[in-house]
Amino acid sequence: MSDVAEMVVNKTCHMQTSSALAPEETERMGTGIVAALKTVFDPEIPADIYELGLIYKVDIKDDRAVDVEMTLTSPSCPSAAELPTMVENAVASVPGVGVVNVSIVWEPVWMPDRMTDEARLVLNMW
- For 80-100, the pLDDT digits (tens) are 889 999 999 999 999 999 999
What is the rounded CA–CA span in Å between residue 55 and residue 103?
Answer: 10
> Can you give the pLDDT at residue 2?
35
This prediction has a pTM of 0.85
Contact partners, residue 111, CB within 8 Å, separation at least 6: none
Residue from 118, 97, 102, 126 nearest 48 by CA: 118
Looking at the structure, give the CATH architecture of the domain made up of residues 6-123: 2-Layer Sandwich (3.30)
